[in-house]
């Protein structure tokens, strides 16, 4: 089970740990759950570079205002529900988001008040 909380902007958030390449260290981040993001993960460019990952291409996607936007692409190692997992990540200017593909196989609940509990439980 993964637990988080609803922030003051009514966004469901969860903690996520990203591996620092060539070390056994993990760096914690707080990620907003974005069920409209049809990808695994979105990370800020500064975090990707600081952690030592390479930006290895681009992906084009349609964002909320129906405009096409190009994002950098990287591949990162994370700790997800206690297990290591390698996932593709879109590179943004400032947002850390968990997308629908990373949520696949989980049941999401959120008490939608500031400080409310967010839970992700693995489906049987």
Question: pLDDT tens across 22-36, in order?
Answer: 888 999 999 999 999
Both tokens of 94, joined, read 């400032």
pLDDT at 63: 74
pLDDT at 24: 87
Query: Is 45 in contact with 72 (CB distance < 8 Å)?
Result: yes
Please give the helix or strand (H or E) that residue 101 lies within, else none: helix 100-103
pLDDT at 117: 99
CATH for 2-122 is 2.40.70.10
Query: Is 124 in contact with 20 (CB distance < 8 Å)?
Result: no
pLDDT at 69: 84
pTM confidence score: 0.91
If DSSP states are collapsed to H, E and C, what string results for 27-94? EEEEEEEECCCCCCEEEEHHHHHHHCCCCCCEEEEECCCCCEEEEEEEEEEEEECCEEEEEEEEEECC
Q: What are phi and psi of 51, to 5 degrees?
A: -75, -20
pLDDT at 27: 97
The C-alpha torsion from 53 through 54 and 59 to 64, rounded to 10°, is 40
Cα–Cα distance measured from residue 32 to residue 11, given in angstroms and rounded to the nearest whole number: 6
pLDDT at 25: 95
Q: What percent of the chain clears pLDDT 90, i.e. is strictly above it?
A: 81
Per-residue model confidence as pLDDT tens for the chain (124 residues): 999 999 999 999 999 999 999 888 999 999 999 999 989 999 999 999 999 999 998 888 777 778 888 899 999 999 999 999 999 999 998 899 999 999 999 999 999 999 999 999 999 9
pLDDT at 62: 78
């Amino acid at each position: 089970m993964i637990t988080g909380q609803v922030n003051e902007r009514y966004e469901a958030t969860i903690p996520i740990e990203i591996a620092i390449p060539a070390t056994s260290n993990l760096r914690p981040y707080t990620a907003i759950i974005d069920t409209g993001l049809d990808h695994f993960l979105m990370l800020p460019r500064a975090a990707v570079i600081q952690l030592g990952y390479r930006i290895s291409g681009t992906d084009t996607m349609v964002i909320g205002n129906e405009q096409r936007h190009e994002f950098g692409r990287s591949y990162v190692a994370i700790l997800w529900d206690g297990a290591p997992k390698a996932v593709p990540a879109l590179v943004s200017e400032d947002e850390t988001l968990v997308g629908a593909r990373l949520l696949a196989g989980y049941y999401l609940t959120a008490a939608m008040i500031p400080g409310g509990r967010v839970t992700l439980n693995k489906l049987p």
